[in-house]
Amino acid sequence: MSDDSARVIIFDTTLRDGEQAPGFSLDVQAKLTLARALDALGVDIIEAGFPIASPADAEAVRQIAREVRRPVVAALARCRPQDIEVAAQALEPGERRRLHIFLATSDLHLSRKLRITRDACFEAVVNAVKLARQFTDDVEFSGEDATRSDPDFLCRIVEAAIRHGSRTINLPDTVGYGTPAETREFFENIRARVPNADQAVFSAHCHDDLGLAVANSLAAIEGGARQVECTMNGIGERAGNASLEELVMALRVRPDRLPYDTAINTEQLYDTSQLLARLTGEPVQANKAIVGRNAFAHEAGIHQDGVLKDARTYEIMRPQDVGQTPEQLVLGRHSGRHAVMRRCETLALNVTTAELEQVYRAVIAFTEHRKAVGDGDLRRIVERLRTSAGALTGQG
């Protein structure tokens, strides 16, 4: 793929890597429901599961492959014949199928976890790619712990995988150890050193152990990667994966520095995020970028005043661009009079200038006992003030 290609492929692994996280497991029907939402969202590839892991995983992959037809449906397999065959069987009903095979390439994993030599690793990768190609032309190879692998050995593995038919090469930062500068350099160097690199799409799969997964994914794109593996809400093993919504909106908001695009329908991001939260029972962090309930909320009076005059003063994207509600002014103890007046206007309470000061003071007093003032609370505040004023007028 050419260096100047501006299109980034979104490989969603919410249903595989994301679903493996403790507390996030989904049954077959829930996986199918979410797969349909990811299809509507516009992801290019859905990694539907790891079929050898369990009969339920295999069945989920099979049903998704049968019913979700637009995106590529991928299934994960180790570089073992049985894994590949089971994954291929699960994908069989699909129209667009990808076998995603993986094997660790770092000396740490080879010696301490797998207890095999580099030569054995090399042979297993070559044999696995050859076998996978018997089932589909769309084969992706991932070198687990690639960013901590010996570069010479990794280049040898990548060259062989491409030569035998892998058209996507994924180089994961499996433990979230990388930094943006070295991630970009890593992808640039591997692609420059592998002679047949132009015959494959390079992919990034970054974990968030240091909170750098999205930053590292963006750096990988700058280094030549044109596929990014990510999850909704950033869920996944340990601290999670690169967050799909953050990555996509970074590309959307900063085309001046990141001139790449995706096929994601960003207006569906919030609803998809909320669906995932309902299906897993795991709420989205309130201050989560893009999809958190506070991502576009403003309580401080200075901020509220700015947003009311021009939303761009404190918002770098429109809430509705990601499916959130526009102008989210929270009435709390830091709020200003302008926000109180705007909320009253929205609720058709027709507060006069004279009444506004009393309403504002009542709102601030209310927040001594409650964190925020809801619409019902504001209506009752206005009604009480008017009732009190009427009573006083009657006594006069």
Query: What is the C-alpha separation between 154 and 330, in angstroms, rounded?
Result: 52
Assessment of whether the complete model's pTM goes beyond 0.85? yes
* 355/307 same-domain check: yes
Query: What is the C-alpha separation between 38 and 224, in angstroms, rounded?
Result: 25
Q: How many CB atoms lie within 10 A of CB 157?
A: 24
Q: How many CB atoms lie within 10 A of CB 214?
A: 25
Please check whether residue 1 lies inside any domain of the structure: no
Please check whether residue 35 lies inside any domain of the structure: yes
Q: How far is CA 310 from CA 61, 80, 297, 305, 343, in A?
A: 47, 58, 15, 9, 17
Quick check: helix, strand or coil at residue 41?
A: helix
* 176/222 same-domain check: yes
Give residue 5's pLDDT: 67
Please check whether residue 4 lies inside any domain of the structure: no
* 207/328 same-domain check: no
**Burial (Cβ within 10 Å: 0-12, 13-18, ≥19) of residue 181:** exposed
* 31/135 same-domain check: yes
Please check whether residue 364 lies inside any domain of the structure: yes
Give residue 3's pLDDT: 43
Average pLDDT by stretches of 10, the chain with 396 residues: 71 96 93 98 98 97 98 98 98 97 98 97 98 98 98 98 98 98 98 98 98 98 98 97 98 97 98 97 95 87 82 92 86 84 89 90 86 86 85 55
Give residue 300's pLDDT: 78
* 314/267 same-domain check: no
* 125/201 same-domain check: yes
Please list the alpha-helical segments (H only) found in the chain: 28-41, 55-67, 81-91, 107-108, 118-133, 151-163, 180-193, 213-222, 244-253, 269-280, 301-309, 337-346, 353-366, 375-395
Buried residues in 293-311 as b, exposed as e (16+ CB within 10 A): bebbbbbebebbbbbbeeb
* 262/391 same-domain check: no
Give residue 374's pLDDT: 83
Query: What is the C-alpha separation between 139 and 133, in angstroms, rounded?
Result: 7
* 232/107 same-domain check: yes
CB 147 within 8 A of CB 186: yes
Domains in the chain: how many in total?
2
Which position has the token pair 């990768």?
125
* 272/304 same-domain check: no
Domain final position from 247, 280, 313? 280
Segments forming the whole domain that contains residue 269: 9-280
Please check whether residue 47 lies inside any domain of the structure: yes
Domain final position from 245, 280, 315? 280
Domain final position from 254, 280, 306? 280
Give me the CATH number covering residue 52.
3.20.20.70
* 169/123 same-domain check: yes
Give residue 391's pLDDT: 63
* 234/382 same-domain check: no
The amino acid occupying position 14 is: T
* 247/159 same-domain check: yes
